Structure 1
Amino acid sequence: MFFTYLRRELRRRRKAAFVVASGLALGIALVIVVNSVTAGMNRAQGKVLESLYGLGTDMTVTKAASPPGEGDIVRRPRFQFDAKEDGGGEQSQDVVMVQGFETLAASTVAKVGAQDGVAEAVGGLNARVMKVDGKFERGEAQPGKRVQGGGADFGVDSYTVYGTDVAHQGLGPLTSSKITAGRTFTAAETAAKVAVVDSAYAKEQGLAVGEKLTISGTAYGVIGIATADSGDAAANVYLPLAEAQSLADAKGKVTTVYVRATDSQRIEDVKGAIQKNVPGTTVTTSADLADTVSGSLSTASDLAAGVGKWLSVVVLGAAFVVAGLLTSSAVSRRVREFGTLKALGWKSGRVTRQVAGEALVHGLIGGALGIGVGLAGAWAITAFSPTLTAELGGGQRVVGPGGGGGPVREAAGRALDIALTAPVSLTTIALAVGLAVAGGLVAGGFGGWRAARLRPADALRRVE
Structure 2
Amino acid sequence: MFYLSFAFSELTRRRGRTLLTAFGLAVGVALVIAVNALSTGLDNAQAKVLSPLTGVGTDMTVTRPLKLSTSGGNPFSSLSPSERAQLRSENGGGRFGLRNLGKPGQHFSSDRLTTATQLSFPQSDAKTFAALPGVAAAAGALTLTDTHISGIVPKTQPQPSGGTPGQGFGGGGFRGGPISGGGPTGPNNINFDSRTITGVDQTKPDLGAVTPGQVTSGHYFPSGSATYSAILSTAYADRNNLKVGSTISIGGKTFHVVGLSSAPLGGTGSDMYVELSVLQKLANLPGRVNTVQVRATNSGKITTVKQEITKSLSGAQVTTAADLAKRIGGSLTDAKNLSNSLGLGLEIVGLLAAVLIAILLTLASVAKRVREIGTLKAIGWSQITVVRQISLESLVQGVLGGLIGAGLGLAAAGVIDAMGLTLKATVTAPAQASGFGFGRFAQQSLAPASSIVHINAPVDLSLIVAAVALATLAGLLAGAVGGLRAARLR
TM-score interval, smaller chain? 0.7 to 0.9
Against the structure 1 CA distance between its residues 406 and 86, is the aligned structure 2 distance closer, same or farther, given a 3 Å change threshold?
A: closer
Secondary structure of the 2:104 match is coil
Show the counterpart of 1:147.
none
Say whether residues 1:108 and 2:125 are aligned partners: yes
1:196 to 224, 231, 235: 231
Residues in 2 aligned to 1:227 and 1:71: alpha-carbon distance in whole angstroms: 37
Residues in 1 aligned to 2:242 and 2:264: alpha-carbon distance in whole angstroms: 20
Show the counterpart of 2:211.
175
Show the counterpart of 2:112.
95
Residues in 2 aligned to 1:268 and 1:448: alpha-carbon distance in whole angstroms: 56
Show the counterpart of 1:49.
50
Segment drifting more, 284-293 vs 377-386: 377-386
Pairwise mapping of residues 62-461 of structure 1 onto structure 2 (< 5 A)?
Answer: 62-67=63-68, 69-70=76-77, 72=79, 73=84, 77-83=94-100, 87-98=104-115, 101-138=118-155, 151-175=187-211, 177-189=213-225, 191-227=226-262, 234-264=269-299, 266-268=301-303, 270-271=305-306, 274=309, 280-393=315-428, 401=438, 405=442, 410-411=446-447, 414-451=449-486, 453-454=487-488, 458-459=489-490
Show the counterpart of 1:15.
16
Q: Which consecutive residues of structure 2, in runs of 5 or more, have no partner in the other structure? A: 69-74, 157-185
Residues in 2 aligned to 1:275 and 1:347: alpha-carbon distance in whole angstroms: 76
What is the CA distance between 1:230 and its match in structure 2? 6.3
Against the structure 1 CA distance between its residues 449 and 230, is the aligned structure 2 distance closer, same or farther, given a 3 Å change threshold?
A: same
Against the structure 1 CA distance between its residues 416 and 427, is the aligned structure 2 distance closer, same or farther, given a 3 Å change threshold?
A: same
Residue 182 of structure 1 aligns to which amino acid in structure 2?
A: G
Residues in 2 aligned to 1:233 and 1:261: alpha-carbon distance in whole angstroms: 20
What is the CA distance between 1:157 and its match in structure 2? 2.3
Against the structure 1 CA distance between its residues 204 and 51, is the aligned structure 2 distance closer, same or farther, given a 3 Å change threshold?
A: farther
Against the structure 1 CA distance between its residues 441 and 206, is the aligned structure 2 distance closer, same or farther, given a 3 Å change threshold?
A: same
What is the CA distance between 1:87 and its match in structure 2? 1.5
**Count of residues in correspondence between the two structures:** 442
Secondary structure of the 2:206 match is coil
Is the CA contact (8 Å cut-off) linking 1:50 and 1:176 kept in structure 2? no
Is the CA contact (8 Å cut-off) linking 2:54 and 2:320 kept in structure 1? no
Residue 16 of structure 1 aligns to which amino acid in structure 2?
A: R
Secondary structure of the 1:188 match is coil
Secondary structure of the 1:195 match is strand
Residues in 2 aligned to 1:356 and 1:406: alpha-carbon distance in whole angstroms: 71
Is the CA contact (8 Å cut-off) linking 1:136 and 1:151 kept in structure 2? no
Residues in 2 aligned to 1:449 and 1:382: alpha-carbon distance in whole angstroms: 44
Residue 9 of structure 1 aligns to which amino acid in structure 2?
A: E
Residue 34 of structure 1 aligns to which amino acid in structure 2?
A: V
Q: Normalising by structure 2, what TM-score?
A: 0.78
What is the CA distance between 1:441 and its match in structure 2? 2.8
Residues in 2 aligned to 1:406 and 1:13: alpha-carbon distance in whole angstroms: 75
What is the CA distance between 1:11 and its match in structure 2? 0.7
Secondary structure of the 1:373 match is helix
Residues in 1 aligned to 2:200 and 2:384: alpha-carbon distance in whole angstroms: 72
Residues in 2 aligned to 1:295 and 1:134: alpha-carbon distance in whole angstroms: 44
What is the CA distance between 1:98 and its match in structure 2? 2.8
Against the structure 1 CA distance between its residues 92 and 270, is the aligned structure 2 distance closer, same or farther, given a 3 Å change threshold?
A: same
What is the CA distance between 1:405 and its match in structure 2? 5.0
Deviations 1:311-368 (A, max 9, x none): 2322222222222222233223223333333343334443333322322222222222
Residues in 2 aligned to 1:100 and 1:429: alpha-carbon distance in whole angstroms: 54
Q: CA RMSD in A?
A: 3.3
Residue 79 of structure 1 aligns to which amino acid in structure 2?
A: F
Deviations 1:63-116 (A, max 9, x none): 343225527556564433345775223222222223564434323323332333
Secondary structure of the 2:147 match is strand
Is the CA contact (8 Å cut-off) linking 2:115 and 2:443 kept in structure 1? no
Secondary structure of the 1:220 match is strand
Say whether residues 1:59 and 2:60 are aligned partners: yes
What is the CA distance between 1:261 and its match in structure 2? 3.3
Against the structure 1 CA distance between its residues 295 and 83, is the aligned structure 2 distance closer, same or farther, given a 3 Å change threshold?
A: same
Residues in 1 aligned to 2:275 and 2:96: alpha-carbon distance in whole angstroms: 26
Is the CA contact (8 Å cut-off) linking 1:81 and 1:91 kept in structure 2? no
What is the CA distance between 1:4 and its match in structure 2? 0.5
Secondary structure of the 1:162 match is strand
Is the CA contact (8 Å cut-off) linking 1:294 and 1:394 kept in structure 2? no
Secondary structure of the 1:152 match is coil
Q: Normalising by structure 1, what TM-score?
A: 0.82
Residues in 2 aligned to 1:291 and 1:231: alpha-carbon distance in whole angstroms: 11
Residue 174 of structure 1 aligns to which amino acid in structure 2?
A: V
Is the CA contact (8 Å cut-off) linking 1:22 and 1:369 kept in structure 2? yes
Segment drifting more, 421-430 vs 67-76: 67-76
What is the CA distance between 1:57 and its match in structure 2? 4.9
Residue 97 of structure 2 aligns to which amino acid in structure 1?
A: Q
Residue 446 of structure 2 aligns to which amino acid in structure 1?
A: E
Residue 211 of structure 2 aligns to which amino acid in structure 1?
A: T
Taking every aligned residue pair, what percent have the same amino acid on both sides?
38
